[in-house]
Amino acid sequence: MLRRSLDYDLSHPIDISESSGVRYLHFGSDWVQGAMRIRRPYDLELAYTREMMAGLLLRGDGEACPEPAGGWPRSVLQIGLGAASLTRWLHHHVPGAKLTVVEINPRVVAMADHMFKLPEESERLEIVIADGADFIAEATRAWDWILVDGFDPDARTGRLGDETFFAACMKHLTRRGLLTVNLLGRNRGFMGSVERLRNASAGRSVVFPSCDSGNAVAFAATGDPVAEPLVDLRQRAQSLKAATGLDLLPTLSRLEQSGSLVGDALVF
């Protein structure tokens, strides 16, 4: 585990609750920062975490990555660990990808290890204790997929919502790279976040309709255009469901109903 020097208040509470077989992570309030169904830890319990995996439909083939020699993604950077939901899922279902997880609070990492089945570090998984904005600004390499899900106890993104941060993420994507960001659709700063992401990606972004929880997942791409017919996305979603149990067909139906498609395709 790598550690960087931090200028960050680490003293906020980190709490755990359980209800109906689901364990929840909180930062001193009722607001949920992450969740895990105890008997099915590799499932993605929260709807927005499932939708963040839609990148596998946009750049991948809708299947788990079978071998280290091929497929997309080969490399993933995750900024914000929370209850380790994305980390567990990717580590389990996409074994061909190497994961780097950046979390600012070492106490969150310890809690994820103790209570949320965080996988052990290995050649496939590196945990870095650092400010995500500093980490990406100083990075010297690129990743196929960058996932950003970072909020403080007051549901603020801080520097992880700045246009400078989004631009740095875009700079550190590979030719077929994808940036995925969890936004709060009911937050008064939501449209500002959308605009900053649009500016940083030169307009090559799309925001999925808000989930019932209010989370809205945004995607931005580099290199090859994303221009995927809905029929192909549905076929990949069916393959992904068969391979992993993750069902993104409802997400595609919501995209179609919201008018987010260009004709019968998702384009950005």
Residues belonging to the active site: 149
Angle (CA) 224-229-232 rounded to 5° is 100
Q: What is the DSSP string of the chain?
A: -EE----S---S--EEEEETTEEEEESSSSSEEEEEETT-TTS--SHHHHHHTTHHHHTS-SS----TTSSS-SEEEEE--TTSHHHHHHHHH-TTSEEEEEES-HHHHHHHHHHS-PPPPBTTEEEEES-HHHHHHH--S-EEEEEE----TTS--GGGGSHHHHHHHHHTEEEEEEEEEEEETTSTTHHHHHHHHHHHTTT-EEEPPPPTTSEEEEEEE-SS--EEEHHHHHHHHHHHHHHHS---HHHHHHHHHHT-SBTTEEE-
